[in-house]
Structure 1
Amino acid sequence: MYLVESKGGAIACMLLALSFLGTWPAIMTLLERRGRLPQHTYLDYTITNLLAAVIIALTFGQIGSSTAEAPNFLTQLSQDNWPCVLFAMAGGVVLSLGNLSTQYAWAFVGLSVTEVITSSITVVIGTTLNYYLDDKINRAEILFPGVGCFLIAVCLASAVHSSNAADNKAKLMAQGIDTSVVKETLPNNGDPENGSSGTAPKAKFGTADFLIEVEKRRSIKVFGKSTVIGLVITFFAGVCFSLFSPAFNLATNDQWHTLKEGVPHLVVYTAFFYFSVSCFVLALILNITFLYRPVMNAPKSTLRAYLSDWNGRGWAFLAGLLCGFGNGLQFMGGQAAGYAAADAVQALPLVSTFWGIVLFGEYRKSSRRTYILLGSMLFMFIAAVGILMGSSGHRKD
């Protein structure tokens, strides 16, 4: 079994996880904006998300010979370690609820702000829990100032969203557009995300025409909806995300001494497998239910319609793989350097904001106030990431 043991290796895992975890939300958002039903996308995503865990378990988890202290993945499946398995599965449940919530929050609040708020809440709550669960192996004098920076970032993110929403409303009102309804009679200017051809020129990022085109194509209609709905969903997702890493920490390190004497701790790959299985099962149940009883006024669908919907399926599969490998790398780094420090991967909004601006034209033609708030938010995030990684410790057996 391969284990990351050095601080440098742990940081490398965190950085790679950061790029993966910051990219998959952009792919999911892109598909929603192109009109693909979120239920279809999430069902595809959850299949490859589980596949990534299986691949990691059967490769890294099976390298080398198995020992009594550190059994390989397949060896550990038959051991009496169910108390820790349940912690791992609980972590998968809250992660699944968080991911499911964000696919709707992205539509209401936008990719950048959603990721900043959820990540900041995750760090403020989750990192504090992990610090104490890990027996304070991270340097508190560095760790908690980093947590404070994340807390400031979440406040700035809320201000950015409010300011940008006001900017967009002003653009639409300037053209006499009523956002309570979608103007189906407006000319189709093509796909504003990828520039696909239509009968009229592509609408420019940040314009009122662009906002209308996005609204007409997307699967979740947001015009006329209160932005409070999006923020409530976002904060709920953040609380869910803040609990999955501490639950995984308990699963692999058994700080509460739930295992019988002589039973080895769950290795990170076994815990990640059970974690991903519970995440998969819950997502499968909820999204099949949402096919027939959709939420947020999304269109109804059927299992037959899902199976025949190949439009964007490859992208959804890719999103699941990126998220799965990203989570696995985060846990591998956390087991070596402390899960509190591994929460530095919650800087994923830096990557998501980049994709939000490049792919979706977020904040284009916004006010100076919005740009100042956006810059301040990203600065606090960069500072928080550096400080959190600087608090990395070394776990001793």
Structure 2
Amino acid sequence: MYIVESKGGAIVCMLLALLFLGTWPALITLLERRGRLPQHTYLDYTITNLLAAVIIALTFGQIGDSTVERPNFFTQLSQDNWSSVLFAMAGGVVLSLGNLSTQYAWAFVGLSVVEVISSSMTVVIGTTLNYFLDGKINKAEILFPGVGCFLVAVCLASAVHSSNAADYKAKLSSWPIDNETGKGTVLSSASEEAVLKDRENGGGPIRKAKAGTATFLIELEKRRSIKVFGKSMFIGLTLTFFAGVCFSLFSPAFN
């Protein structure tokens, strides 16, 4: 089994993890905004996740000779370590619940706010739990001031969401929209639309609403799979905080 033992290799793995963790939420959010149902997207995500785990287990998990200290993947399958298996399964359950919750939270709250709150909660709760699980081997005077900064980030992100909700409400107040269906009359104006070329179909120029305008918000609501007009802002925040709690329990369960 291949294990990263150098600090340089660990740093490279961390950078790759940050790249991938910052990419997949944007891609899934883009799919939802284009009308793909979240359950279909999550099904694709889980199948790909399973395939990736199997491939990694059969490749990196089988590199080198199997020893007592470093058993290979197939060797570990026959070991009597059900306690570790159950903890790993519990970590997978809370991780899946967190991922599923964020799919809906992104639609209600927005990608930037959800990621800040959920990631900060993961650091605050997860780091605190891991600190005690690791026998307090880390220096608390260095560790917890950083945790406090993430706690401040949670509060600031919640305030940003409240500000965004008020801004959207002000922009949409002058538009005839049915809050239940999200349907309304969209009026085009040169000041709120930018003329772009339809690169996908190769046709002539088309008009797309400028990002952040009322026209853009209405067109997005009509196209997306999760309708958010007329919904309470607390729905998105509740989903976000629930996802943060789930993510924070994932690391201690594996630890």
TM-score normalised to the size of structure 1? 0.59
Q: CA deviation at 1:90?
A: 0.4
- The answer to whether the 8 A contact 2:176-2:185 is kept is no
Instruction: Give distance in 2, aligned partners of 1:50 and 1:92.
Output: 11
Instruction: Give distance in 2, aligned partners of 1:179 and 1:20.
Output: 38
Instruction: Give distance in 2, aligned partners of 1:224 and 1:26.
Output: 24
Aligned length: 246
2:252 pairs with 1:246: yes
Instruction: Give distance in 2, aligned partners of 1:131 and 1:245.
Output: 11
Q: CA deviation at 1:42?
A: 0.5
2:149 pairs with 1:143: no
Q: Who is 2:224 aligned against?
A: 218
Q: Who is 1:362 aligned against?
A: none
Q: CA deviation at 1:195?
A: 7.5
Instruction: Give distance in 1, aligned partners of 2:23 and 2:142.
Output: 28
Of stretches 154-163 and 10-19 in structure 1, the one that deviates more from structure 2 is 10-19
- The answer to whether the 8 A contact 1:62-1:72 is kept is yes
Instruction: Give distance in 2, aligned partners of 1:31 and 1:39.
Output: 11
Q: CA deviation at 1:47?
A: 0.3
Instruction: Give distance in 2, aligned partners of 1:81 and 1:22.
Output: 34
Instruction: Give distance in 2, aligned partners of 1:99 and 1:131.
Output: 24
Identity %: 80
Provide Cα deviations, 1:139-186, integer angstroms capped at 9, x if missing partner: 32221111111000010000111111111111112x334361422554
Among candidates 204, 209, 222, match of residue 203 of structure 1: 209
Mapping for residues 68-79 of structure 1, pairs under 5 Å: 68-79=68-79
2:119 pairs with 1:119: yes
Q: Who is 1:322 aligned against?
A: none
Aligned residue for 1:80, secondary structure, equals coil
Q: CA deviation at 1:11?
A: 2.2
Larger Rg: 2
- The answer to whether the 8 A contact 1:187-1:200 is kept is no
Q: CA deviation at 1:200?
A: 5.2
With over 3 angstroms needed to count, the CA separation of the structure-2 counterparts of 1:62 and 1:150, relative to structure 1, is: same
Mapping for residues 361-380 of structure 1, pairs under 5 Å: none
Of stretches 22-31 and 139-148 in structure 1, the one that deviates more from structure 2 is 139-148
Among candidates 222, 227, 231, match of residue 237 of structure 2: 231
- The answer to whether the 8 A contact 2:108-2:235 is kept is yes
Q: CA deviation at 1:7?
A: 2.6
- The answer to whether the 8 A contact 2:187-2:215 is kept is no
- The answer to whether the 8 A contact 1:36-1:218 is kept is yes
The answer to which structure, 1 or 2, has the higher relative contact order (CA under 8 A, 6+ apart) is: 1
TM-score normalised to the size of structure 2? 0.90
Which structure 1 segments of 5+ residues have no match? 250-397
Aligned residue for 1:201, secondary structure, equals strand
Aligned residue for 1:13, secondary structure, equals helix
The amino acid that maps onto 2:112 is: S
Instruction: Give distance in 1, aligned partners of 2:199 and 2:129.
Output: 45
Of stretches 120-129 and 133-142 in structure 1, the one that deviates more from structure 2 is 133-142
Mapping for residues 204-353 of structure 1, pairs under 5 Å: 204-249=210-255
Q: CA deviation at 1:46?
A: 0.4
With over 3 angstroms needed to count, the CA separation of the structure-2 counterparts of 1:111 and 1:179, relative to structure 1, is: farther
- The answer to whether the 8 A contact 1:117-1:234 is kept is yes
The amino acid that maps onto 1:113 is: V
Provide Cα deviations, 1:198-222, integer angstroms capped at 9, x if missing partner: 9951111111100011100001100
Instruction: Give distance in 1, aligned partners of 2:106 and 2:113.
Output: 8
With over 3 angstroms needed to count, the CA separation of the structure-2 counterparts of 1:60 and 1:196, relative to structure 1, is: same
2:12 pairs with 1:12: yes
The amino acid that maps onto 1:178 is: I
- The answer to whether the 8 A contact 1:34-1:219 is kept is yes
Structure 1 vs Structure 2 CA RMSD = 2.3
Of stretches 175-184 and 161-170 in structure 1, the one that deviates more from structure 2 is 175-184
